[in-house]
């Protein structure tokens, strides 16, 4: 998060963590960037969002989870994420493109999260994406950059200080409520185990906050998927290599101990699709050839 210009100065004043951002630079990722569309999408100016308190949701009538999309009326899936979310997002939209009744869209922004809307405003981005794509399902994977000073209208709250959990939880709740208000369900994918013990403990704490907010979401408008079964070892700890279904050992993490390798991204994408079919009861029709776009 500690990047060039004024943002760098502000990051230092609020104690921004840049462990993930630093490794993004090493691996050639551009701050705040993501895949670009071949065909531009019109981006309307976001409207101001109402303030949301922790645990609250926007009342709305959601379509049933028991989806039976068709090629003529495909399930529209929006995939959002930070750099770790991008590691999932690209293989996920690629895998979903094999289904003829799904249209998927990827919006990934590295070095971002919910803690620093002054750097990148995910709620505003979500509003634009939902207006453009009319998505019915939003798959979210953010959080790797979030254990840091949380910028609020009244200043910053350092990670671990009183009030941080409540403020962050409120942002998670508002994000889910925003998607629900547009008629979209949310599938929130938790962060995987990390090699660094400190970062691992911090992200496990964040995962718990997200799970608590998902559990409080009205009308079943959100579900939580832990990435640990797909990417953790038999003890649910960090693993750089894991066996596949045939017993062959696959590299699932990059050397930084944070991001997902292509094999890890594909492994987690498979778990997401299984959750869509099982937990969310979405009927996917393989073998026809769907649509995947990137925002």
Q: Which residues contact 220 (CB under 8 A, 6 or more apart)?
A: 62, 65, 185
Q: Does residue 64 fall inside a structural domain?
A: no
Print the domain residue range for 236: 69-294
Q: Does residue 63 fall inside a structural domain?
A: no
pLDDT at 203: 98
Q: Does residue 252 fall inside a structural domain?
A: yes
Dist. CA 157–CA 121, nearest whole Å = 18
CATH of the domain at 242: 3.40.50.1110
- The closest of 230, 248, 266 to 98, measured between CA atoms, is 266
Q: Does residue 83 fall inside a structural domain?
A: yes
Low-confidence ranges of the chain (pLDDT < 50): 1-19, 21-24, 26-60
Dist. CA 79–CA 293, nearest whole Å = 10
- Strand, coil or helix: 205: helix
- Strand, coil or helix: 274: helix
pLDDT one-digit tens code per residue, 268-291: 999 999 999 999 999 998 765 555
Strands (E), 148-287: 150-152, 155-157, 185-189, 222-225, 241-243, 249-251
Dist. CA 199–CA 169, nearest whole Å = 19
Q: Does residue 238 fall inside a structural domain?
A: yes
Predicted TM-score (pTM) of this structure: 0.81
pLDDT at 168: 97
Q: Does residue 47 fall inside a structural domain?
A: no
Please count the structural domains in the chain. Answer: 1
Q: Are 9 and 1 in contact (CB under 8 A)?
A: no
Number of helices (H), then strands (E), belonging to the chain: the values are 8, 10
pLDDT at 218: 74
pLDDT at 151: 84
pLDDT at 133: 93
Q: Are 168 and 150 in contact (CB under 8 A)?
A: yes
pLDDT at 293: 60
Q: Does residue 21 fall inside a structural domain?
A: no
Structure tokens, 120: 């990148």
Dist. CA 279–CA 294, nearest whole Å = 26
């Amino acid at each position: 998060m500690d990047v060039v210009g004024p943002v760098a100065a502000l990051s230092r004043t609020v104690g921004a963590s840049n462990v993930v951002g630093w490794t993004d630079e090493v691996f050639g990722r551009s701050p705040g960037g993501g895949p670009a569309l071949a065909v531009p999408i019109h981006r309307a100016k976001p409207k101001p969002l109402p303030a949301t308190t922790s645990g609250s949701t926007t009342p709305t009538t959601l379509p049933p989870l028991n989806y039976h999309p068709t090629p003529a009326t495909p399930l529209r899936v929006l995939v959002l994420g930070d750099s770790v979310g991008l590691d999932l997002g690209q293989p996920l939209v690629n895998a979903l493109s094999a289904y003829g009744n799904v249209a998927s869209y990827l919006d990934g922004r590295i070095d971002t999260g919910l803690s620093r809307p002054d750097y990148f405003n995910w709620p505003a981005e979500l509003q634009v994406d939902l207006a453009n794509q009319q998505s019915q399902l939003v798959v979210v994977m953010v959080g790797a950059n979030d254990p840091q000073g949380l910028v609020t209208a009244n200043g910053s709250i350092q990670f671990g200080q009183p009030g941080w959990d409540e403020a962050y939880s409120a942002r998670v709740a508002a994000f889910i409520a925003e998607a629900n208000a547009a008629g979209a369900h949310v599938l929130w994918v938790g962060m995987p185990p990390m090699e660094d013990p400190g970062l691992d403990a911090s992200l496990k704490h964040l995962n718990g906050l997200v799970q608590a907010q998902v559990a409080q979401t009205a009308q079943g408008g959100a579900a939580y998927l832990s990435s640990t079964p797909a990417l953790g070892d038999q003890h649910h700890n960090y693993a750089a290599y894991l066996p596949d279904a045939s017993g062959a050992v696959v590299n699932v993490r990059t050397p930084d101990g944070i991001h997902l390798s292509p094999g890890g991204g594909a492994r987690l994408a498979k778990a997401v699709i299984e959750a869509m079919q099982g937990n969310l009861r979405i009927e996917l029709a393989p073998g026809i050839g769907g649509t995947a776009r990137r925002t």
